[in-house]
Amino acid sequence: MKKFFFTLIMVIVTLKAYNQSSVAMVVDATASQYTISRHIYGHFSEHLGRCIYDGYWVDPSMPVPKYDRIRLDIVEALKKIKIPNLRWPGGCFADEYHWRDGIGPRDQRPTMVNTNWGNVTEDNSFGTHEFLTLCELLNCEPFIVGNLGSGTVEEMSKWVEYLNFDGISPMTNLRKQNGRDKPWGVSFFGIGNENWGCGGNMTPEYYVTQFRQYSTFLKNYPGAPLRRIACGPSGGNYTWTDVVMAGLAPGGRGNLWGIDLHYYTRPPRGGFGQPQGGQAGQAQREGAQGQQQQQVQSQGSATNFTEATYFGTMRNALRIENYIKGHDSVMTKYDPQKRVALVVGEWGIWCDPEPGTNPRFLFQQNSLRDALIAGTTLNIFNNHCDRVKMAQLAQTVNVLQAVILTQGPKMILTPTYHVFDLYKVHHDAKMLPVKFTSPDYVYENQSLPALNASASQDSAGVVHITMVNIDPNKQITVNITLNGVKWSTVTGQVLTSAKITDINTFEKPDNVVIRKFDGARKQGEMLNVVMPSKSVVMLELK
């Protein structure tokens, strides 16, 4: 009998050890140098599928609160997470969009065919005025991407004049004629999108020449200096970054504020490890809006996936940190003072469209897995805020890794939305360096770092720590030493669920939501945290 109980105790101890890991972490307020820009938490809304039309912009008869045709429940939800900027009109759509088609009386605006996204015909009822009204309702800054691929220097130059000039000119008169007296003062302005692909299939050398020419004619009007953003690379295309930085870096002729990197996380094909086609194949698929032929291939289901697929997907998500480091290294050759921002203008997970929907509308569900990707990615951005000054999740409503999904008058908030709600505490706060060695998440003899984290201190001295445990099976005990922080209380919130495939639906919108977290406590001067498996945790120390 004694032997039986001894064996039973050993089994229990072994199971507990198997299901948890322990790590020591240091959060160092004495080493803080950089600020986490709120603009890292931006969003992207393209004329694609049901993001704009039947997303923000609805039929006048739809029984929801509206301002004009702007859906106000969406506005209020985005205001809650303090969305700092919104990128528009694309995406691939930007380089076929002619802004004059979207101003003036709506019944007189010409239609256009959206050739990138399903050949649907748009009536241009949502244009410059409507977008900037949306931004005013959201209390966020607009990030407009101009048409370099099929437009002209004159067209882009006059758009900036229309947006930002308050003097006497034909564009000012036209703006006033269309109902807007004062200019909007748009600051963030992209000169083309994915010009290595759908934006014109340009070489980086040719793009640099184009950027210089266009930039020359995009004027800084009084009170409205432009922050010009260049088309950046796809994934690990360091050659593009090198050529663009060499031609446009500070001291050059481009008046460059930022360079726009795009990277999408893809579920792996051909196994849970390296994506099908190897590294070169992955590089071709990243930033896939410029690679139209890739969009008809299977990316993997957003909801029906195994742990093997999950493991491979998380591996691909974590790859973004290596790309950020690589591009930062290239940029630093030309810009050691880090005056040029790395803008991650499109990021998120790209899965198969939901069955029964238009495959070119890219409507996908959003699971706990996607929330873990979002939290992980935002932690990476926070920790690299010396170079990453801006980013936009793709896309805001009904497209790809959306934070909001709609079905007629119904609306749900996705698990990814709740991550942005948790992380808004980092906006414009001082980044606190975090040091630790992560335990491994092991699957079939392959491993990934299970834990990632970032920390900040706001203007009131409150410290916030966000951590993600990507291991779907093991909890992690974290013992945190806080250097240079005076605190006496800790509170927390957690986002998790029973399965990594769990989603919010229109029938059950609260399956995956933020809940109170009781797994953190003060032990002397240290903070002890028990991280659940597959979870995002936000801690507040006062």
CA 519 to chain centre: 28
Question: In this structure, is residue 402 part of a structural domain?
Answer: yes
Q: Of the residues 346, 444, 507, 525, which is catalytic?
A: 346
Residue corresponding to tokens 């999904």: 405
- As a whole number of angstroms, the distance between CA 16 and CA 21 comes to 9
- As a whole number of angstroms, the distance between CA 220 and CA 216 comes to 10
Does residue 194 carry a catalytic annotation?
yes
Alpha helices in 335-414 (DSSP H): 368-383
Q: Within 10 Å of residue 484's Cβ, how many Cβ atoms?
A: 13
Q: Are residues 247 and 392 in the same domain?
A: yes
The pLDDT score that the predictor gives to residue 21 is 81
Pull the structure tokens for residue 8.
């039973």
Q: Are residues 410 and 439 in the same domain?
A: no
Pull the structure tokens for residue 480.
């945190």
> Which amino acid, residue 18?
Y
- 200 sits in the region (left: phi over 0; alpha: psi -120 to 50; else beta) called left
Question: In this structure, is residue 9 part of a structural domain?
Answer: no
Q: Are residues 218 and 258 in the same domain?
A: yes
The pLDDT score that the predictor gives to residue 150 is 97
Q: Supply the DSSP symbol for 92.
A: G
Q: Are residues 393 and 510 in the same domain?
A: no
CATH classification of the domain holding 110:
3.20.20.80
Q: Are residues 188 and 284 in the same domain?
A: yes
- As a whole number of angstroms, the distance between CA 220 and CA 21 comes to 55
The CA-to-CA distance between both ends of the chain, in Å, stands at 51
CA contacts within 13 A on the Cβ side of 343: 28
Instruction: Give the per-residue SS3 of 129-143.
Output: HHHHHHHHHHCCEEE
**Phi then psi for 373, rounded to 5 degrees?**
-65, -45
Q: Are residues 477 and 375 in the same domain?
A: no
Q: How many domains does the chain have?
A: 2
For the whole model, what pTM was predicted?
0.93
Q: Are residues 420 and 461 in the same domain?
A: no
Q: Are residues 421 and 476 in the same domain?
A: no
**Phi then psi for 407, rounded to 5 degrees?**
-145, 100
Does residue 346 carry a catalytic annotation?
yes
Which distant-in-sequence residues (6+ apart) come within 8 Å of 359 by Cβ? 295, 296, 353
- Please identify every stretch of the chain with a pLDDT value under 50, giving residue numbers as ranges: 2-17, 274-296
Question: In this structure, is residue 196 part of a structural domain?
Answer: yes
Q: Are residues 418 and 462 in the same domain?
A: no
Which distant-in-sequence residues (6+ apart) come within 8 Å of 20 by Cβ? 474, 475, 476, 477, 530
The pLDDT score that the predictor gives to residue 250 is 72
Q: Are residues 222 and 317 in the same domain?
A: yes
Q: Are residues 146 and 167 in the same domain?
A: yes
Q: Within 10 Å of residue 278's Cβ, how many Cβ atoms?
A: 10
C-alpha torsion sign, points 184, 189, 195, 198: negative
Q: Which domain holds residue 160?
A: 40-427
Q: Of the residues 194, 286, 354, 540, which is catalytic?
A: 194
- As a whole number of angstroms, the distance between CA 329 and CA 332 comes to 5
CA 39 to chain centre: 10
The pLDDT score that the predictor gives to residue 269 is 78
C-alpha torsion sign, points 272, 277, 280, 281: negative
- As a whole number of angstroms, the distance between CA 266 and CA 274 comes to 11
Q: Are residues 232 and 263 in the same domain?
A: yes
**DSSP count for the chain of H helices, then E strands:** 11, 28
- As a whole number of angstroms, the distance between CA 406 and CA 395 comes to 13
Beta strands 410-413 and 434-436 are: unpaired
Q: What is the DSSP string of 317-336?
A: HHHHHHHHHHHHHHHHHH-T
